[in-house]
Amino acid sequence: MNKKKDIRALSKDQLREFFISNNDKAFRGNQVYEWLWSKAAHSFDDMTNISKTTRNMLDENFVINHIEVDTMQRSNDGTVKNAIKLHDGLIVESVLIPTKTRTTACVSSQVGCSLDCKFCATARLKRMRNLNPDEIYDQVVAIDQQSRHYYNHKLSNIVFMGMGEPLMNYNNVLKAIDKITSPEGLGMAARRITVSTSGVPKMIKKMADDEVRFNLAVSLHSAIDEVRTSIMPFNTRFPLKDLRESLEYWYAKTKSSVTYEYVVWNGINDRKEDIDALVAFCKHIPCKVNLIEYNPIDDGEFQQAPERALNNYISNLEMNDIVVNVRRSRGKDIDAACGQLANKS
Ligand code: SF4
**DSSP notation for 57-107:** HHHHHEE----EEEEEEE-TTS-EEEEEEPTTS-EEEEEEEE-SS-EEEE-
Query: Residue 249: its pLDDT value, please?
Result: 98
Annotated active-site residue 93? The verdict is: yes
Give 130-163 pLDDT, tens digit per residue: 999 999 999 999 999 999 999 999 999 999 999 9
- Residue identifier of the C-alpha nearest atom 3 of ligand 1: 165
Q: Which listed residue (17, 60, 93, 301) is catalytic?
A: 93
Q: In what order do the strands lie in the sheet with 258-262?
A: 68-74, 80-85, 91-98, 103-106, 157-160, 193-197, 215-219, 258-262, 287-292, 323-327
The average confidence (pLDDT) of the chain is 92
Closest CA to 110 of 91, 96, 89: 91
Q: Quick one: CATH architecture of 5-63?
A: Orthogonal Bundle (1.10)
Kindly give the distance from the C-alpha atom of residue 102 to the centroid of ligand 1, in angstroms, as a whole number.
25
For domain 68-334, give its CATH number from 3.20.20.70, 1.10.540.10, 3.30.420.270, 3.90.76.10. 3.20.20.70
Ramachandran region of residue 267, left (φ > 0), alpha (ψ -120 to 50) or beta?
A: left
Cβ of 122 less than 6 Å from ligand 1: yes
Q: Higher-confidence residue: 247 or 296?
A: 247
Query: Residue 146: its pLDDT value, please?
Result: 96
- pLDDT exceeds 90 at position 39: no
- What's the CA dihedral at 7, 113, 260, 145 to 10 degrees? 40
Query: Residue 122: its pLDDT value, please?
Result: 79
Cβ of 110 less than 6 Å from ligand 1: no
Mean pLDDT, range 273-298, rounded to an integer = 92
Q: In the chain, which residues fall in CATH 1.10.150.530? A: 5-63
Give 254-278 pLDDT, tens digit per residue: 999 999 999 999 999 999 999 999 9
Q: In the chain, which residues fall in CATH 3.20.20.70? A: 68-334
Identify which of 106, 115, 128, 229 to mutate to test ligand 1's pocket (most ligand atoms within 8 A of the CB). 115
- pLDDT exceeds 60 at position 339: no
Query: Residue 345: its pLDDT value, please?
Result: 44
Query: Residue 336: its pLDDT value, please?
Result: 57
Identify which of 113, 195, 219 to mutate to test ligand 1's pocket (most ligand atoms within 8 A of the CB). 113
Query: Residue 299: its pLDDT value, please?
Result: 67
Give 107-121 pLDDT, tens digit per residue: 999 999 888 888 888
Kindly give the distance from the C-alpha atom of residue 110 to the centroid of ligand 1, in angstroms, as a whole number.
10
- pLDDT exceeds 70 at position 344: no
Q: Which of 12-21, 39-48, 121-130, 162-171 has the lowest mean pLDDT?
A: 121-130
Mean pLDDT, range 222-247, rounded to an integer = 97
Query: Residue 124: its pLDDT value, please?
Result: 78
- What residues have CB less than 8 Å from 332, skipping those under 6 apart? 75, 295, 340
